[in-house]
Amino acid sequence: MATPEIKHDLYIQFGNEYGPEEEQAVIDVLRKNAPTSGAACVQFEKEFAAYCGTTYARCVSNGTAALFLSMVGIGIQPGDRVITTPMTWIATAAAAATLGAEIDFVDVDPETFNLDPARIEEKITPKTKAIIPVHLYGQCCDMDAILDIAGRHGIAVVEDACHTVGGAYKGRKAGSFGVTGCFSFHEQKNMATLGEGGMITTSNPDVFERIALYRSHCTRVYGTSTKYCSLDETRFPKGKRFWWQDFDDTGYNFRMTDIQAAVGSIQLRKLDDFNQRRIRNAARITEGLRDVPGLQLPVVRPECLHVFHLYPVVLDPEKFGVNKEDFIYRMLHERGVKVGAHYIPLHWTTAFRKRGYGPGQFPVADQAGERLVTLPINPRMTDEAIDYLIESVRAMQG
């Protein structure tokens, strides 16, 4: 079957938009020789921390680096255990796993697909060092319950807020609850910094210091603060001053460039508007699909500002008449609409089968893996495109 003419930008599922302000910012930084970790980065960090309500923010090369550095920042060691959800992008679990930690998955809530707090405590062992709640699809986890459990057991909470920049729980922004908050500005996320980018937020000065060091080779050169090795007077007598850069330890290079940061500052100013348009578009999709039998539409918790990074729908193959695979295939080939599947549960993947996991271990996540699809959503969608999307989903009913 030939793919029909692509209609209404619905082949591109997600992402945001850039305007003339971003174009100008790129040119302005380019004319200053496009530095890395310069004034634009410092500015973006200040604005981002203020937006989230944290003391510090540090920009990084991507969301994976934000998660990895958070694990380094809280001191994750080989043999430690980290609790997270199987319903996420692999980066969430890979950060701790690549540092030698064991991952303990916990099943998710059947309405929000976020970590189910009621199932966390049974997974805690003396080796458990962190819980990584993922604010999935744009909606925060039940943070009161998660922080209470973590607090009672002395475990760090690291938020994976990659889906939920600008989202909130009880009026507080995602990324301001845990020891750190991790953000991605990948091209598909709610705000973007030229394809790749990320941010770590924290209000803990010690964790911030470690993250800042390991992000850039454990050297203290950043912005205006510089610390070099003290003068070795035995080798270099007074008067013949010789300074060299010192490194506290071996670290990494997960820096962001100033061109990305300058674009990030502008995207951050537009973020609330992008998110309002997503929320509005999601409401229109929900309105249009509400009466279709066999579809479980997104549930918005009253205490959350859900910023709809994705629009998840669970298909009941009996009541709706089509299963997930056929739905994805037919939406693409008959309607030109690209439907996603976020996510293949991590316990199904080869990476975690090697670690003793397999399908069937987490019933709610397993069912989501079999039945959950994600419809296109982004701030650029026109009402016409949304109505075409609704009509297309309705046309699939068996």
Ligand X SMILES: *Cc1c(COP(=O)(O)O)cnc(C)c1O
Closer to ligand X by CB, 41 or 91: give it: 91
Beta bridge mates, 181 = 159, 201
CB of 372 to ligand X, least distance (A): 15
Q: Identify residue 206 by its one-letter amino acid code.
A: D
Interface residue with ligand X, options 13, 37, 54, 64 (CB under 6 A): 64
CB of 340 to ligand X, least distance (A): 12
CB of 367 to ligand X, least distance (A): 20
92 binds ligand X (CB under 6 A): yes
Q: What is the token pair recorded at 72?
A: 């380094």
Interface residue with ligand X, options 62, 114, 204, 275 (CB under 6 A): 62
CB of 94 to ligand X, least distance (A): 9
Beta bridge mates, 84 = 105, 132
37 binds ligand X (CB under 6 A): no
186 binds ligand X (CB under 6 A): yes
Interacting stretch for ligand X, rule CB under 6 A, among 83-91, 117-125, 240-248, 252-260? Answer: 83-91
DSSP 381-396: --HHHHHHHHHHHHHT
Q: What is the token pair recorded at 15?
A: 């992402």
Closer to ligand X by CB, 131 or 390: give it: 131
Closer to ligand X by CB, 200 or 393: give it: 200
Interacting stretch for ligand X, rule CB under 6 A, among 6-14, 158-166, 319-327, 349-357? Answer: 158-166
The owner of tokens 């506290």 is 248
Beta strands in the chain (DSSP E): 56-60, 81-84, 102-105, 128-132, 156-160, 168-169, 172-173, 180-184, 198-202, 295-296, 304-305, 311-315, 372-375
Question: Cβ(28)–Cβ(202) under 8 Å?
Answer: no
* Coil, helix or strand at residue 338: coil
Closer to ligand X by CB, 128 or 188: give it: 188
Residues 112-141 that bind ligand X (CB under 6 A): 134
CB of 88 to ligand X, least distance (A): 5
In whole angstroms, what is the distance from residue 166 CA to residue 174 CA? 7
Interacting stretch for ligand X, rule CB under 6 A, among 3-11, 59-67, 74-82, 144-152? Answer: 59-67
Counting residues that bind ligand X (by CB under 6 A) gives: 14
365 binds ligand X (CB under 6 A): no
DSSP 131-154: EE-B-GGG----HHHHHHHHHHHT
Interface residue with ligand X, options 176, 184, 190, 201 (CB under 6 A): 184
Closer to ligand X by CB, 72 or 322: give it: 72
215 binds ligand X (CB under 6 A): no
63 binds ligand X (CB under 6 A): yes
Bond before 343 cis per omega within 30 degrees: yes
162 binds ligand X (CB under 6 A): yes
In whole angstroms, what is the distance from residue 93 CA to residue 91 CA? 6
CB of 99 to ligand X, least distance (A): 16
Interacting stretch for ligand X, rule CB under 6 A, among 39-47, 107-115, 159-167, 311-319? Answer: 159-167
In whole angstroms, what is the distance from residue 42 CA to residue 83 CA? 33
174 binds ligand X (CB under 6 A): no
88 binds ligand X (CB under 6 A): yes
89 binds ligand X (CB under 6 A): yes
Q: Which residues of 320-338 are buried (b: 16+ CB within 10 A; e: fewer)?
A: bebebeebbebbbeebbbb
DSSP 344-373: --GGGSHHHHTTT--TTSSHHHHHHHHHEE
58 binds ligand X (CB under 6 A): no
In whole angstroms, what is the distance from residue 104 CA to residue 84 CA? 6
Q: Which residue's CB comes closest to ligand X? A: 63
Sites of contact with ligand X (CB under 6 A):
62-64, 88-89, 91-92, 134, 160, 162-163, 184, 186, 198
